[in-house]
Structures are given as structure tokens and as C-alpha cells.
Amino acid sequence: MSRIETKLTAAKAVSTNGQAVADVIPDGHARLRLAVASLCGTDLHYYSNFANAGFVLQNPITLGHEACAYVVDPNGSGLKEGQLVALNPIMNCQTCDPCKRGEENLCTAKKFPGSATTVPHLNGFFRAVIDHPARCCRPVKDGVNPAHLTFAEPMACALHSLNKGNVEAGQKVLVTGCGPMGLLAIAGAAARGADVTALDLRPQAVNVALKAGAKTGLIAGEFDEAEIEKTFDVVVEASGAIPAFNTALKAVRQKGCISILSNIQMRAAEIALHLIMLKEIQVVGSFQFNREFEEAVQLIEAGSVDFDALTAQSFPLEKTADALELMASGGAFGKIILLGDSE
């Protein structure tokens, strides 16, 4: 299939029209009405390539795993009709060894919406009516803005990368890549009291990073890398670009930590691995999140992060394909959000 044909098929995959709504709500699920959803790099990979990180879609699906919604029918759960809830997309089995250890991100029987990792695939959150396990719906206190609450899932991913890197107040932290995930890592690290430097190729992205809480902004190619050598306690790699990973290896101090938050796709690469040995660098991976979902919701409830400054643009749900095209064009700085119908 040509790239264009793939794209057309993928565009059908995100169509939000004509979605059949089941008559019966599955056991343990609540019926919800979408409030706000947001676009993730994962959605873009599926949209553009019908695949992400080596997982290929077997059939068209509705994308989306970042959203908040209003309860329409609690279906016997403790949720209340009309309540705004954050949706945790990780539907873990609750019985495997990782689940027992509180590591639901590594659950061996996890279900995840809008993803080829779950077979058969489950439709994602880019739709008006969503049935979701009630236990994965986190009610929030009154007055929380749904346009902020949709950040719960990506913020949880960013907080997990900070926890994996043990980011604390007073540390010098470099975030390479100022896409939505990098921006949230910056905001989260700044909220913890770290001294954050942001690095990106694009001056506009660095500007948003400064609004997100970075004290210093660096534009790749416009500064001398020798000046930041062995400077940072922790580097959060959020670009997925190999040159940025090599910069991270240089910029981290001896015995420092590089936490990989980016969704690095498989490719051939030249990496300065000897620096890991010479400086005793720790390189840790960060995949999704566990308790950080709760941390993220609390951060949003507390209003500690200016999510409006991190929002690039909003589209109505029916314009999801346009929103993905904007993301694909690279012309958006910050998160793109989708608005459900307001009642």
C-alpha cells in the first residue's frame, strides 16, 4: 500500500461519525460522554503509518487514549451521573505479578484503547460516547476545567519519567525535545522545584518550554555543546531523535541519569555508548505510568500547572482528522485538544 493509501485508510480509522453505540453497557463499565480528548504522538504514528513502535493495526479503529468525560450512566458503580472523570486508559488485569507489584504499566494482560498492542483492538477515546471500566474513571473535584483534565494521562507519563530519573527539588534537569511530552516533563520538574533547561531544534517550541517552567532554553545547533558537558543531574529524553540522545550522554554529569520518555522508533543509529561506561551513567526507560496517574490528577486539581500555555489549538471532535493533519505538519507547538459536544 502506498503512503497516501495508508493515510486514507488511517483517516477512516479515526472517523468519529456513525459509531455504533452498544445497547448494553458491559459489566463493570460506566457510560460516558466525551468532554475533552487530546492528541498524542502515538495517535499520529497510527494515523500516518498504521503502526506504532512495531505494532501494526490489524483493522481500522478509533484512536485516542487521552481524555476526560462526563458520566451518563454509572451502571451500578459508585460514580455519579453528570460527574466529570479523568479516564485512565490502562485496563490492567489486576492479577499478574506486575499488577500485584503496582506496576500496571507492565501488566502482561493489559488492555489499552486505540492501540495495536491490544488484540482484538479496542476503540479509543476520540468518540462521543465511551464505555469505560468504572474503576478506571477518576472523579475530580468541582470546578476542574476539562481542557486541563485531558492532560492527566500524558502528565502521568511525564511524571513517571521524572520518578524513574528520581527528579527532585534543586536538581539540574535537561529536557531534550519540547513536544507535548517534553513540555509536560518540564512543567512537572519545575513544579517539583528542579532547575530545568529545555532543548529543541525549533525556537517556537523552546518559547513554549520557557512558559512551561524551563529557566533556560537552548536551540540545537545554536550553542556550544562543550558548555553543557557533564552539567545535569538528570536528562529526560523526550525527542526520539538520536542526536538528542547523544547530546544527553554528553550533558549528563558523572553517575547522572538519562530517563527515556520519548517513543523512539526502531532505526539504525550511532550512539556514544562509551560515555555510559566512562561516566557510569544510568539509562532508564519510562513506559506509561502507575501511581503517577493519581499524582497527575492531583496536580491538575491543585491548578499547579498552566495547561493553557501548553495547549496549541483546539478542534471539535468531528475535525479529528484536521487536528491530526496539523500535528503531522509540525505546525503545532504544545498539545492539540479535541472538544466533545457541550450539552
Buried b (16+ CB within 10 A) or exposed e, 218-227: bebeeeeeee
Q: How far is the CB of 98 from Zn ion (least distance, A)?
A: 6
**Residue 253 in 3-state DSSP?**
strand
Nearer to Zn ion, 93 or 119 (CB): 93
By CB under 5 A, residue 275 contacts Zn ion: no
By CB under 5 A, residue 290 contacts Zn ion: no
Stretch that binds Zn ion, among 45-53, 94-102, 138-146, 275-283 (CB under 5 A): 94-102
- Three-class HEC string of 100-145: HCCCHHHCCCCECECCCCCCCCECCCCCCEEEEEHHHEEECCCCCC
Nearer to Zn ion, 40 or 327 (CB): 40
Nearer to Zn ion, 99 or 257 (CB): 99
By CB under 5 A, residue 273 contacts Zn ion: no
Among positions 10, 40, 130, 297, the unique one binding Zn ion when judged by CB under 5 A: 40
Residue 199 · residue 218 · CB < 8 Å: yes
Nearer to Zn ion, 67 or 107 (CB): 107
Q: Which of residues 96-115 bind Zn ion (CB under 5 A)?
A: 96, 99, 107
By CB under 5 A, residue 88 contacts Zn ion: no
By CB under 5 A, residue 162 contacts Zn ion: no
Nearer to Zn ion, 31 or 45 (CB): 45
Q: How far is the CB of 92 from Zn ion (least distance, A)?
A: 5
**Residue 271 in 3-state DSSP?**
coil
Which H or E element spans position 160?
helix 152-164
Among positions 16, 92, 239, 290, the unique one binding Zn ion when judged by CB under 5 A: 92
Rounded Cα distance between 101 and 234, Å, is 26
Interacting residue ranges for Zn ion, rule: CB under 5 A: 40, 92-93, 96, 99, 107
